Structure 1
Amino acid sequence: MAGNFELQGRHGKSRVRVSRVWRRPAAAGGDIIVEWNVAVSVVSDCLPSYTSSDNSAIVATDSIKNTVYVKAKECTEVVSMEEFAVILGRHFTSLYPQVSEATVTIVERPWERVVVDGKPHSHGFKVGVEKHSTEVIVKKSGSLLINSGIQGYSLLKTTQSGFEGFVTDRYRLLPDTRERIVATEVTAWWRYPFEHVSQLPSKPFCFTQRYQDVKKVLSDTFFGPPDVGVYSPSVQNTLYLMAKEVLTRFPDISSIQLRMPNLHFLPVNLGSKENPLVKFADDVYLPTDEPHGTIEATLSRPMSKL
């Protein structure tokens, strides 16, 4: 309590950019590089720093920043960013008695190995598009929460999508159709079932591989078989099928949240009925993402909440 008021605070360091290279010979797959944008936020018992001039209990944000680099150096073996976030969280909650909780958020810049003459390059990389992200919360008690996700995952199919059967009122202008482009930029967050640091597997769990697996399942479900595809009656239904397939395929994921804006490709018709300059025939569109429909949902296993 601070006087007659209740005070809660947290502090930390954001936008700590760190890159780590693990050197490996070409025969072992070549070098590995990651680039992470790290944010650390701690809850600590430092009330006097807010109510008076006593800063003796504050873990300096400069220390928090420098710890990110020190811990990256100490990771002599390849670690996923989820593992790195747990390492940071456990450090802050164990080293400092006054710190009761640490939240570590990391967004990865997607450096991808290049292929030259059909062979993966040992030390050459290019920047990809969609970004892997994670948020890890560690408490002094060892309580643990690990969410991972993907941002900016753009998907589009030119057919096998419809718009029909929606509420028809005086405000709806779009006609029913079984033929339209569907495009979206997926944001996904999924939760792992580990609720305490003691539950983490003794053999390292490959969070990075699971991220790649989830990404592939989302894409495969959206598109369907390569020769015929799969019909999408709505973004809502496609979203549900994508989320359901992730939970069906991966028992180590307890829930998943998907946000899928409907990025529109509007048919182009130019001219009048009497003098059409361009008449739309499922071939010319105006791409626009403003305004766009927003569809999102969370799918969880029983007794699991995201």
Structure 2
Amino acid sequence: MASLAAARYGKDNVRVYKVHRDEKKQTQTVTEMTVCCLLEGDIETSYTEADNKPVVATDTVKNTIYILAKQNPVDPPELYGAILAAHFPAKYSHIHAAHVNIIVHRWTRINVDGKPHPHSFLRDGAETRNVEVTFRRNEGFTITSKIGGLLVLKSTGSAFHGFHRDEYTTLKETWDRILSTEVDAQWTWKRYQTVAQVESDAATFDKTFEAARKTTLKIFAEDNSASVQATMYKMCENILAEAPRVEAVEYTLPNKHYFEIDLSWHKGLKNTGKDAEVYAPQSGPNGLIKCRVVRRPASKL
């Protein structure tokens, strides 16, 4: 006997671009997003009995995404995500929860002759600012903010030695290596109950994103890294210290390897150890390191 255990549906890959025109300053600001919005509720019969009456069409979800973007601020994305997620349970009594995922694509204002241009922008990397918002009726909002696709590299200041060795180990210890990774960092906020509470923290979301990004880059650059694990833990600690409303921080860091090339076969050419200058970037396999660091209860501090 089959039974529907879980279900959600909605619209994915909704591309949204919004321009804000400041007539007083004669400048424009742009935001480009990719939005996914999925709904949960009393929708079982649409799966089990081919009954479409409870289905709020995914096209309706798409239209709502655009209309609410027109009627409300889209910055910070945490606020827009909360407005969008709260809309569906408020509008439809049989919808109990909404899950919103927002990817904000990076547009950076162009500097011309040392001055920021009022309406021209460039895509200076694949990095994105991401947000996940879940709203459940009678439970409030769960909000997670993210940095995605931030590619970083340093040519020294990283080591890896003293690790466990056994009959399966071939990796050599190193006291100096290239360290490169694509940062995927996220932090989960304490629960909010209303859109108004989220709106009151709008400036905090922006401030924390910039602080988390700055902390990530600073520690990556300055830490004399004993391992990816040790470096990422320091990043988590710092974000928790700087953002009191954040409950947990997670990092996912793939280790993008750059291997030395032994060229001694060619006339004794030295290109290993302290003589290494030419490396072979690797596409895989690669190390993948994750951690989640939570705030300790006050009684344990």
TM-score relative to the length of structure 2:
0.91
Determine if contact 2:263/2:270 at 8 Å carries over to the other structure: yes
Task: Name the counterpart of 1:227.
Answer: none
Are 2:288 and 1:290 aligned? no
- Distance in 2 of aligned mates of 1:113 and 1:6: 49
List aligned pairs for 1:211-290, cutoff 5 A.
211-224=209-222, 230-272=223-265, 275-280=267-272, 281-290=275-284
Determine if contact 2:237/2:293 at 8 Å carries over to the other structure: yes
Are 2:200 and 1:208 aligned? no
Number of residue-to-residue matches in the alignment: 294
Indicate the SS of the match to 2:62: helix
Identity between Structure 1 and Structure 2 (%) = 32
Indicate the SS of the match to 2:284: strand
Q: Flag the 1:102–1:303 CA change in 2: closer, same or farther, 3 A.
A: farther
Q: Flag the 1:284–1:173 CA change in 2: closer, same or farther, 3 A.
A: same
Which deviates more, 200-209 or 158-167? 200-209
Task: Give the AA of the match of 1:293.
Answer: G
Q: Flag the 1:252–1:128 CA change in 2: closer, same or farther, 3 A.
A: farther
Gap runs ≥5 in structure 1: 225-229
Task: Name the counterpart of 2:194.
Answer: 197
Task: Name the counterpart of 2:28.
Answer: 31
Determine if contact 1:26/1:122 at 8 Å carries over to the other structure: no
- Distance in 2 of aligned mates of 1:102 and 1:201: 16
Structure 1 moving runs of 4+ over 6 Å: none
How far off is 1:201 after superposition?
A: 5.3
List aligned pairs for 1:54-93, cutoff 5 A.
54-75=51-72, 77=73, 79-93=75-89
Indicate the SS of the match to 2:86: helix
Gap runs ≥5 in structure 2: none
Q: Flag the 1:45–1:241 CA change in 2: closer, same or farther, 3 A.
A: same
Determine if contact 1:22/1:78 at 8 Å carries over to the other structure: no
Q: Flag the 1:303–1:58 CA change in 2: closer, same or farther, 3 A.
A: farther
- Distance in 2 of aligned mates of 1:203 and 1:47: 36
Q: Deviations over 1:28-63 (max 9, x none)?
A: 7x2111111000000021222223243222111110
